[in-house]
Amino acid sequence: MNRTSNFLGGVFAMGCTLVFLSGAALAHGDVVPQAVDTEGLKSLPEGEWLDENPYRGNKQAIEIGSSAYGQNCARCHGLEAVSGGIAPDLRELGPEYDDYFIGKVRGGVQRNGMTYMPAFEGTLSQDAMWAIRAYIDKRHYEYNDKDLAKLYEQAEDGS
Ligand code: HEC
């Protein structure tokens, strides 16, 4: 599942925008990642990485993830995960992309000495990352007109 290369075509097509964007990012310095309060969610072990979302369908996780997404991801991936074209549209990532998702969020994306996306490992907890994933699951359902009740049914604790 190589989504990166598909996306790259778009990036090259918009080369000018991207160069402008990275200049702007440098000018503003590093953006400090925002702490995420995940209290109330089942806490996950740090350092032992899961490859599947343990919070899928959990409404509280979706709410926490929505705010964490807004603070940490929206500036590149767009408000409510609707891409403005500078970074991939995350609503396309169905549940089969959990492992891919967590890998990207942990490590970010660097190429040729450029940081396209910052690494979040060490600044966001595993709990926070999966809460964001839970929110993106919801946006994926909405984007594809899938029945949200079916998503909420998957919550482990039925919440
Ligand atoms: C500074 C801008 C920036 C920020 C902030 C950012 N990303 Fe990204 N992200 C990107 C770019 C650009 C790519 C595409 C990189 C490439 O060329 O492969 C990307 C790729 C991804 C991918 C792979 C998507 C795909 O379809 O291949 C995921 C998943 C992702 N980001 C999740 C996140 C999440 C979750 C957050 C917030 C915790 C976040 N990103 C924050 C810029 C950003």
The alpha carbon of 104 is separated from its chain's Cα centroid by a whole number of angstroms, namely 8
Q: Which regions of the chain does DSSP assign to beta strands (E)?
A: 109-111, 114-117
pTM (two decimals): 0.85
**Ligand 1 pocket, mutate which of 17, 28, 77, 140 (most atoms under 8 A from CB):** 77
DSSP-assigned beta bridge partners for residue 110: 115
CA of 147 to the centre of ligand 1 (A): 26
CA of 46 to the centre of ligand 1 (A): 22
Q: Cβ distance 44 to 50 under 8 Å?
A: yes
Residues of the chain with pLDDT under 50: 12-29
> What are the tokens at 58?
């959990």
Burial class (CB in 10 A: 0-12, 13-18, 19+), 32: exposed
**Ligand 1 pocket, mutate which of 76, 106, 129 (most atoms under 8 A from CB):** 76
Ligand 1 surroundings by CB, under 6 angstroms? 3-4, 7-8, 11, 72-73, 75-77, 87-88, 90, 101, 104-105, 109, 116-118, 120, 132
**What is the structure's pLDDT at 156?**
80
Q: Cβ distance 127 to 114 under 8 Å?
A: no
DSSP-assigned beta bridge partners for residue 121: 124
**What is the structure's pLDDT at 152?**
98
Question: Position 6: which residue type?
Answer: N
**What is the structure's pLDDT at 25?**
43
b/e burial code for range 68-107 (CB count within 10 A of at least 16 → b): bbbebbbebbbeebebeebbbbbbebeeebbeebbebbee
Would you say the C-alpha torsion 128, 156, 77, 100 has a positive or negative sign? positive
**What is the structure's pLDDT at 30?**
53
What is the C-alpha to C-alpha distance for residues 57 and 75, in angstroms, rounded to an integer? 25
Residue spans of the domains in the chain: they are 3-152
**What is the structure's pLDDT at 149?**
97
**What is the structure's pLDDT at 108?**
98
Tell the CATH superfamily of the 3-152 domain. Cytochrome c-like domain (1.10.760.10)
